[in-house]
Structure 1
């Protein structure tokens, strides 16, 4: 049988170790978190909902995951820099300030969409951002870990070109259906509101937020007699563990 003083010392040591572990674990969790750079573009300038959503979504991501730079661009009826060329420049600029092999690029695009891609309207300028355009831009950025959220009709067309274990893609609709809520002067589209403004303010993981948002959108669409848009989430198996929102 051990002397009493050894037992007492052992208990004290265990208590001390547990106290230190509990006090530093949360801090280390945040210190070890990757830097997150946010690029958010409102692409269709004729309706302010896309500008509002680009700003609102960027603010939510920065508040939940942020520790890196934030770049929000939008178009208006008079013009703007949220174009194909502007997006390419912004992605390159975001990557310059990041550890491309470890940090995370969070890209948000909100606009009207078609089976061909995303509509860009800046004053008189009109363009279409195709899945191949965007895939090439992201590859040139050099960022390994990426999250791409596309808020538009038919946005599921981007998934085959973008989604992989290092790139998570979340879309407001599948490749065959429109999404809803792009009313001028609104703050959010239906999926943008459900995902960013409601679910992600509470959930700590993107997958959990997506599950909640998809359910909310489906209920709203059925209530308003719309054919379901079928939001999608694909890829990102290597990204998901790197993004844990602040409590």
Structure 2
């Protein structure tokens, strides 16, 4: 199933209020966040994972599963925040996203630690959709840049599982920001059936490749092959997942793996 609802999102783009406009609002309504403290002299990874599209449960499932696997593979136990929207619950509102980023910013060491931000939803060429109850809006690359900056982390990983998500790689990738996306900026991705556990990309990257290899770049290359094979087998035009930037982030993550010999997955 095609993962985009393009025409709906075009209307959303015209009518929605940007997430950035919510960042000045109080986060008092957000759930409190508990994160394990930063360990001086050690690179800690903090994970923020959000399922943004409430009407379909696959995005809740993917946000949960992605955080669980990343936490295990990157040694981030106790350092993850997972929120999602459902048909009945608005758990990943713009205010919640900002509050989670602020919580990470209060806890981590900006120069030493790494933030991993995961977003899963439907996408459009201009960004990724957020539906939380009656609140509908488009999350743009500029909004995500502001979220990443709110965490204060100098080294960041952004993983976006959505149609046309390559726009985030094009706009946000640099040496200190690794961006991984489910599709190119001009391509849809697939697998958004309500009730599914993973999208096609989420299954290939998180559920298969990352379980066997904690190196994000290596896991991505494996996942790209897996998802392309599946799409061709099922008659879809390949989504062409993207990876960009992050040379300094990967160096830091890989060095952490080498130092911590107990983590055999590294």
The answer, yes or no, to whether TM exceeds 0.5 is yes
8 Å contact kept, 1:39–1:90: yes
**Rg larger in structure:** 1
Residue 140 of structure 1 and its aligned partner are, at CA, apart by: 2.9
Residue 137 of structure 1 and its aligned partner are, at CA, apart by: 2.1
For residue 66 of structure 2, the aligned residue among 45, 57, 69 is: 57
Does 2:42 correspond to 1:39?
no
Gaps of 5+ in 1: 1-30
Residue 58 of structure 1 and its aligned partner are, at CA, apart by: 0.2
Residue 83 of structure 1 and its aligned partner are, at CA, apart by: 2.2
8 Å contact kept, 2:127–2:141: yes
Gaps of 5+ in 2: 1-39, 258-262
Matched residues in 1 for 2:182 and 2:155: separation? 21
Alignment of 1:94-133 (within 5 A): 94-133=104-143
TM-score by length of 1: 0.84
Alignment of 1:76-87 (within 5 A): 76-87=86-97
Counterpart secondary structure, 1:238: helix
Does 2:224 correspond to 1:224?
no
Matched residues in 2 for 1:62 and 1:140: separation? 21
Matched residues in 2 for 1:33 and 1:57: separation? 23
Matched residues in 1 for 2:70 and 2:190: separation? 22
Does 2:223 correspond to 1:213?
yes
Q: What is the root-mean-square deviation in Å for CA atoms of aligned residues?
A: 1.4
8 Å contact kept, 1:91–1:138: yes
Aligned to 1:185: 195
Deviates more, 1:188-197 or 1:83-92: 83-92
8 Å contact kept, 1:84–1:127: no
TM-score by length of 2: 0.79
Counterpart secondary structure, 1:201: helix
8 Å contact kept, 1:84–1:129: no
Residue 144 of structure 1 and its aligned partner are, at CA, apart by: 0.3
More helix by share: 1
8 Å contact kept, 1:33–1:243: no
**Aligned pairs, how many?**
217
1:40-90 per-residue CA deviation (whole Å, 9 max, x = no partner) reads: 000000000000000000000000112351100000112313122221111
Deviates more, 1:163-172 or 1:86-95: 86-95
Aligned to 1:20: none
Counterpart secondary structure, 2:70: helix
Does 2:179 correspond to 1:174?
no
1:188-237 per-residue CA deviation (whole Å, 9 max, x = no partner) reads: 00010100110011113111100000000000000000000000000000
8 Å contact kept, 2:188–2:239: yes
